[in-house]
Structure 1
Amino acid sequence: MDTEAQHTERDRPADPDQGQARRSRSARFTALMGLRPTASPGPRPTASPGPHPSASPGPRSAAPSGSRPTGLSGHLDGPWRKAGALLALCVVFLLLLSHFVVQPFLIPSGSMEPTLKVGDRVLVNKLAYDFGDTPRRGDVVVFDGRGSFVQETQDGNPVGRAVRSLGAALGLTEPAGTDYVKRVIGVGGDHVVCCDRRGRIQVNGTAVDEPYLHPGDTPSQVPFDIVVPDSTLWVLGDHRSRSSDSRDHLGDPGGGMVPVDRVIGRADLIGWPLGRWTTVGSSGAFADVRDAGGGHG
């Protein structure tokens, strides 16, 4: 037996048609069994040259939530924000203090010289007459002159009015044109006459020496003889020759009398300038004046 021929026959490659048939049968068997054919390994595709994905342009990611803002917003969130909040708190406190307790009042004219000079800032005590007390003779008071010294008017610009009111409340600007500062000469029931033979004002028959008058001024060059109605005041400036006061409104409705409920407060202290820091106080000139009923005022 030719063994070499036999080995040669076994080692001969199979018929291509037979191999294709076997592969077809194997594929059908795999499909019937629900198996996925294993892909034969092959060459891996070569990546095309190009920029790295991390280097590709695109939208920048947002800053981490815990990061601190930079630029102007960062400064506003820092010390500037605290300073602004502190300033706002101080302004609110001063406004509340000015509205309810004590208000700085800028003296706009020389009608109260030498007691008060132009540019003085006086502190007006708003609680002076809030607990049953009333203005007394000799007190220097700040009052709203609407209805007595000026007609009732209303500014048509609410924004401008609010700005002026804010500045006046802090003592930074002149007060409203309807606010006045004068000295109380007569209270409700008083009989006030000018003048006696020596040129002095008389209150309820008692002559009053007025040491606060501006040097060279007389008590009044305008004669008057009035009785002050209840709940009103008769007021004059210390610089009588330059003061527009109750004397100038004798012929007006109300006769120049200031209603007590129009009084804003009593001027107690000159707060600025520092060189004029002093109390205003009430004059002792009226110590001997009796009330209309016979008692001392």
Structure 2
Amino acid sequence: MTSHDRGLPPTDTQPEGPRSSSSPEDGPGWGADPAPGSAADKPKEHHLALWAEALLLLAVALVLAVAIKALFLQAFYIPSESMEPGLVKDDRILVQKVSYWGGGEPQRGDVVVFKDPGGWLNAAESAGPTGTIPKAMAKIGLYPSGGHLVKRVIGVAGDVIECCDDQGRILVNGQPLDEDSYVKDDPDTQCNGPMVDQCTTDWKAGPVPEGHVFVMGDNRGHSADSTVHMCRPKAETDCVPGQEFVADDLVVGRVFVLLWPRERFDWLSRPATFEDVPDGSSGS
């Protein structure tokens, strides 16, 4: 008796021969369309050539270097012996610019890098690196550049700086500075505030104008700093008063790391003696 005779629905019969499709467990058949999202359905990826990837990475690195130089860090070298003993000629240093963002100004005790205000450096000191590669690296902040000076801020707007008390100490707004921790101990220099080769003459500078600083090197007997550009009393020169002050907008940033040579790596901080200095009058 057939299923039809029993009143049951007829069953499909599978024809013999090769199948046109496979079961779900076997995956799609030969003639089936690929499932959405399958590997066969994805477009082919196009990879950059190795040289193109290298150029792209180099371009990104250069952009980042320029941005870092403009906003955050920059490398410099010490151009003279004026900051000994802490910083020696040809030392490599890093300058950070964040401290002076958003109206921030240099503070007393900061070691700063600043552009030549005009006539502070000779031609050799202003020249900077030579050679195509060093010059290109200097442009993006990866190599020390020339035309800059490194000094310590002694006075800010409104301050009066005097040389010197009976112990040979610089006074800022009447407060003597204890500078033994960073000023070079030079037997030929009898005080901490001389002009070059002139320690016996007392002098006074300030009040420091608004938006300016008064700077000195730590090697006080060998530093062409603010004291050298002061107009000396009764001197017959064409000195213009005020040339001893450095404009804040010439300051690149604060030195915070002695980077090289490696064995002298050090972090630079503001000496505690400046915390005791009282505020000066309003800058003029």
Q: Give the structure-2-normalised TM-score.
A: 0.66
Pick the aligned partner of 1:231 from 199, 203, 211: 211
Kindly report which structure 2 residues correspond to 1:96-107, keeping only aligned pairs within 5 A, or say none. 96-107=67-78
Superposed CA RMSD in Å reads 2.8
Matched, 1:126 2:97: yes
Unaligned runs of 5+ in 1: 1-76
AA aligned opposite 1:187: V
Tell me: CA distance 1:146–1:162, structure 2 relative to 1, closer, same or farther (3 Å).
farther
Q: CA offset at residue 163 of structure 1? A: 7.3
Q: Write the mapping of 1:1-297 to structure 2, written as runs, cut at 5 A.
A: 78-147=49-118, 149=120, 164=135, 166-167=137-138, 169-173=140-144, 175-177=145-147, 179-210=148-179, 211-216=181-186, 217=189, 218-222=191-195, 223-227=202-206, 228-251=208-231, 252-253=239-240, 254-293=242-281
For the 8 Å contact 1:105–1:171, the answer to whether it is kept is no
Q: Deviations over 1:69-96 (max 9, x none)?
A: xxxxxxxx85344334323322221121
Q: Deviation of residue 102 (structure 1)? A: 0.9
Match of 1:285, SS state, is: helix
Alignment check: 8 A CA contact 2:194 2:227 kept: no
The answer to whether the Cα contact below 8 Å between 1:148 and 1:257 also exists between their aligned partners in 2 is no
Residues 50-87 of structure 1: CA deviation (Å, up to 9, x unaligned):
xxxxxxxxxxxxxxxxxxxxxxxxxxx85344334323
Q: State the one-letter code of the partner of 2:74.
A: Q
Instruction: Find runs of 4+ consecutive structure 1 residues off by over 6 angstroms.
Output: 160-163
Q: What do residues 113-151 of structure 1 show as CA deviations (whole Å, max 9, x unaligned)?
A: 112122322111112111232211100111112347469
- Name the structure 2 match of 1:64: none
Q: Distance in 2 between matches of 1:181 and 1:219?
A: 18
Q: CA deviation at 1:221?
A: 2.8
Shift of 1:170: 2.8
The CA deviation at 1:277 is 2.2
Alpha-carbon contact 2:159-2:281 (below 8 Å) kept: no
Figure out how many residues of one structure are paired with residues of the other and give that number: 209
Structure 2 segments unaligned to the other structure (5+ residues): 1-47, 196-201, 232-238
Q: Check the 8 A contact 1:192/1:226 in 2, yes or no.
A: yes
Q: What CA deviation, in whole Å up to 9, does each residue of 1:182-201 have, x standing for no partner?
A: 00001111111001111110
Distance 1:169-1:213 versus aligned 2 partners, 3 A rule: farther
In the alignment, the residues of structure 1 paired with residue 248 and residue 138 of structure 2 have an alpha-carbon distance, to the nearest angstrom, of 25
Contact 1:165 1:176 (C-alpha < 8 Å) held by counterparts: no
Q: Percent identity?
A: 37
Larger fraction in helix:
1
Structure showing greater radius of gyration is 1
